[in-house]
Structure 1
Amino acid sequence: MESYSHLPQLSNGQLDLSKVQDAQLMKTKPNRGKGYTAGNSCITEVVIDNKPTKRLLDPVAFCSCVGKPFLKTCVPNCKDQLLPIDGINFNSACNPMKALGIFETNFIFPHINGNLRITVEFVSMENCSGTHFILENDYLIMYGIYLHNKKDRYFSIGDISPVNLGLEKFKSERLKEAEISLNLTDKQENKLSSLLYDHKGAFVSDKEPLEALMSHEVDIILNTERPYPPLLKIPAYPASSKSREALETHIKELLDLGLIINVGHNEEVEITTPVTVAWNNGKSRMVGDFRALNTYTVPDR
């Protein structure tokens, strides 16, 4: 009854077929006449007794089973390890199967993100000629294993993979506009994201604009006493006549924007920049008065 409860199409004999839509492909479909090749995605590699072997995922199999000839190639002394089985008849799609016993073993699913080991009982069949272990779907359900065939087959346990919430938030917020090379594998991309997350303090954000800066002390001595240092004795350099027109246009634009203002030589104004433009006899001069900064410099400590 439990299995039938998940089949709504059997609950009502009067099925409405007026609305039908075509199923959407999730992967490339084999060419016409080659549909049988799609079954290869159900075969994966596992490790038994440190030996790689093939395993078939069969969601319609009555039980997990393996042929005697194939089992003997994987485990030569398998006959001594069989558990007894009596009173059960097994049949394949076309022939009855002769059960020899139950073979219990540990399977290891190799994967880049961590290997997975489960204990499985296989019925050893004398007249089964398959070249792989057949694992029924119930084992996948019992262990909560979800298999997804994409670029690299992977396994997640309990349908919920451990997630680093901080890393996922970092990837969605800080790395959402980052361009990562398409040549990286999933493992390399995950390793790169983890490395960036571990050093997230080196990145600037809107809420933490100075996150990458560490406090440090700097001693600055501004000399305003005579004799002045040689660099302060250098006269202000005049702008060339060639660039004067462009300079005047630029200054006019800054005046129109209100970023700078015209002041007289005897007016007192708050200093906003150590570089000013001075006019003398119709000529412009760029003047850097770094000594004036001393008035507005407050030591941190």
Structure 2
Amino acid sequence: MEYMRGTSTKMTVCIDNAQHPYKTDIGAHSSIVAREYLQKHFPNWEKQLFPKKAKNLKSASRNITSIGTITKEIIIHHRKGNIRLNPEFVVLEDAHIQDPLEELINELKGGKSSAKLTSKQKLSLPKTFRENIPDFAIGEEPLGKMRGHNIELYLDVERPYPPVLREPPYPESLETRREIDKNVNELLDMDFIIKIGHKDIVEVTTAFVITWHDGKYRLCGDFRSLKNYNKADR
């Protein structure tokens, strides 16, 4: 999770038993929320508003008008345990909210559609994508986020071991080693596996990474490597 690494990131958090988009930024001066967003999602927000004026709030292009502050408990879900925070948000009067549908349309501008689609079908694409958003993932998200594309791997570690596990754990050929490193790096880039530190706790058994060429299998990890890779967070 990016929020554990101290970098800027977008995530989904739980507020008042509902999911909301949330962005963290290590360079942010304070937490902010638009009045328009509160009116849309929290009907009773004005009763929780503390009329405290914030000073010297500026964006990159202009000054920002604040009308007070509001405190909301946010819950960040994680497989190792939920994180609860109670940040104080500065409520902005004139902040602009970008509609998710508008953002989706902008992303589709650079895409290409099939020539077999009619004009009516092309116009319906944004709505279709929005209704089926769990079936898609953007470049920054792991492939495991896509619904219906789950991956099941089985590792037999009981004796007698499969023949592939009896082979030397690391190939002698430098060229083969380079290809294996390339494959492992690709899996890391796609978030299928992640590197873990020697102090991290591994909760699941990690599958071996096996490559093959011309019908011959080659093991590129052995039992000693289990502590170096862990299943990516999904």
TM-score (norm 2): 0.41
TM-score (norm 1): 0.32
